[in-house]
Chain A
Amino acid sequence: MEALLYIRELSHGPVTRPRLRDITLQIGAGDRLALLGSNGAGKSTLLHILSGALAPAQGDVMLSGRPLHRADPAARMRVGYLPQRIAMYPDLNVRENLRWAAQLRGLRGLALRSAIDRALDEVGLQDLATRLASRLSAGMQQRLGLAQATVHRPDVLLLDEPTASLDPLQTRQIRDLIHTFDQKTAVILATHLLDDVEQLCNRVVVLDGGRKTAEHTVSSDMDLLAHFHPTEEKSA
């Protein structure tokens, strides 16, 4: 089966201290892939590149066989991205923030309005649509971020530490929300929280120092902690 997203020999950063080195990955439709690694492992840089915000120094990213970073805007319309810091305008209300994200992804007219309403419904923010984004709680802001990332029904959804700054209840709510996403959507989640990997993902790629050091299928009896600091494991 052809991969939905194909990352081939991707490298980024200065030659002397690259942030990513020779990453090759294939992600199929419906995959739930975790990028696991400590701070500075290259998870966010990889998501940044996959979102189309940054072109890699070397290598290719192909989405359904089309290059993501060349002059092909259509490929980037199929990617949704939730950055680590929610990209919202505090002086605009929830609906306006969502409209901005949807317009950036190419939605117009009636499709735009219906997509906004659907996304608000999906994340449970319909009643708060006219509230200023700055007046939302951290959990609600994360919901807004998820709505921004999914408003255009992407084929690939990139989530950068989606539960990192949330309390346990908000974390559970966000995880429940991620479970409700379309099963055909490929989700790539960068995290250093092992619970996120166990509960949300079926595959895990371990990054260390910008390199892919391991790739596994997540299973209930898997010891994720053993993969968390692979460099230390190897030297021990």
Chain B
Amino acid sequence: MIWRTAWHEWRRLTAGLMFWLLLAFGQLIIAWLAFAQLEAFATIAPQLKLSGSSLGVTDLVLIPTLNSLVLILLLSTPLLAMGGFAGEAHSGRLTLWLSAPTSSSEIVAGKIVGLWLTTLPLLFSGILTLALFGLGMQIDWPRFALAVGYLALFCLWLSAIVILLSALPDHPAAALALSYGALLFLWLLDSISDADAPWHWLAFAAHLEPGFRGLLRSQDLVFFIVSGLAASLLGTYLIARRRGEL
């Protein structure tokens, strides 16, 4: 049932205008930023060559643009997810979900996977734009591939977080505000907290950055997997409580 729910979520989200607007807007921004970075790189490239610097197009064009892509995903995903549970409750459809002969965990997992599948076109349209630079420039492909892998995992984690937050209120606008607030806090946590502080572990930006530098660290993977699973379990708990099962 997880895959059927995921397919339904993907179909529901891609049938709406919001997805296509976000895809077009995201693609426009990424293309603009990438070419702006490229122009700046072209200006300093001769000096870099003269100074013998190892910095290339991957460091100065692709990775900064991928950082912007993270921001676009942070802004887009809550807009898609606000219809997750809050939208279903607001429009009266949640009753049918809750009365289905399906477990709460399957419903939550299906919604997370469905949202993740919907964010992947947003991610990969940007990735494709950047990968096309490889046709005429020297790209550090292993590093770029690792960064893309990290971003795909980040999208799954983000989907779990915003689906959990959409299960809290009954109004999509409240879910959206809650998601933006929580994600902004987690994003800023990297810069406002000390690196040794225990809560710094929650700063997702600190777990993405090594992947962008070409480092595959088990602690970053553990962060995304463990906190994503925790969000799924909490979401399942909230739905089971709505059903009166707990």
A-side residues, CB < 8 A to B, are: 12, 48, 51-57, 69, 73-77, 79, 81, 83-89, 91-92, 96, 100-101, 103-106, 148
Contacts and interface: CB of A to CB of B under 8 A. Distances in A.
Give the 8 A-B residue pairs with the shortest CB-CB distance, closest first. A73-B101, A85-B92, A55-B244, A53-B98, A53-B99, A51-B99, A76-B101, A104-B100
B96 A104 contact: yes
Interface residues of B, number: 21
Interface string B9-34: 00110011000000000000000000
Contact of B100 (A54, A76, A85): A76
A83 B101 contact: no
A46 B4 CA distance: 29
B92 A87 contact: yes
Interface in B38-91: 91
Interface of B: 4, 8, 11-12, 15-16, 91-93, 95-102, 242-245
A135 to B, nearest CB: 13
B244 A56 contact: yes
B61 to A, nearest CB: 37
A69 B103 CA distance: 11
A158 to B, nearest CB: 9
Nearest to B97: A104
Of the candidates B91, B96, B97, B102, the one having the most CB atoms from chain A within 10 angstroms of its own CB is B96
A45 to B, nearest CB: 11
Contacts of B15: 89, 91-92, 96
A79 B99 contact: yes
11 contacts: A48-B95, A52-B98, A52-B99, A52-B101, A76-B100, A81-B95, A86-B92, A91-B15, A96-B11, A96-B15, A104-B96
B160 to A, nearest CB: 22
Contacts of B98: 52-54
A65 B193 CA distance: 58
A84 B97 CA distance: 15
B8 A103 contact: yes
Contacts of B95: 48, 51, 53, 81, 83, 87
A57 B243 CA distance: 11
Contacts of B8: 100, 103
A86 B243 CA distance: 19
Contacts of A103: 4, 8
Contacts of A53: 95-96, 98-99, 243
Contact of B93 (A51, A73, A74, A88): A88
A52 B12 CA distance: 24
Nearest to B16: A91
B135 to A, nearest CB: 37
Nearest to A84: B92
Nearest to A71: B103
Q: Which of A85, A91, A103 has the most CB of B within 10 A?
A: A91
Contacts of A100: 8
A106 B243 contact: no
A89 B12 contact: yes
Contacts of A85: 91-92
Contact of B11 (A57, A92, A148): A92
A100 B97 CA distance: 10
A92 B12 contact: yes
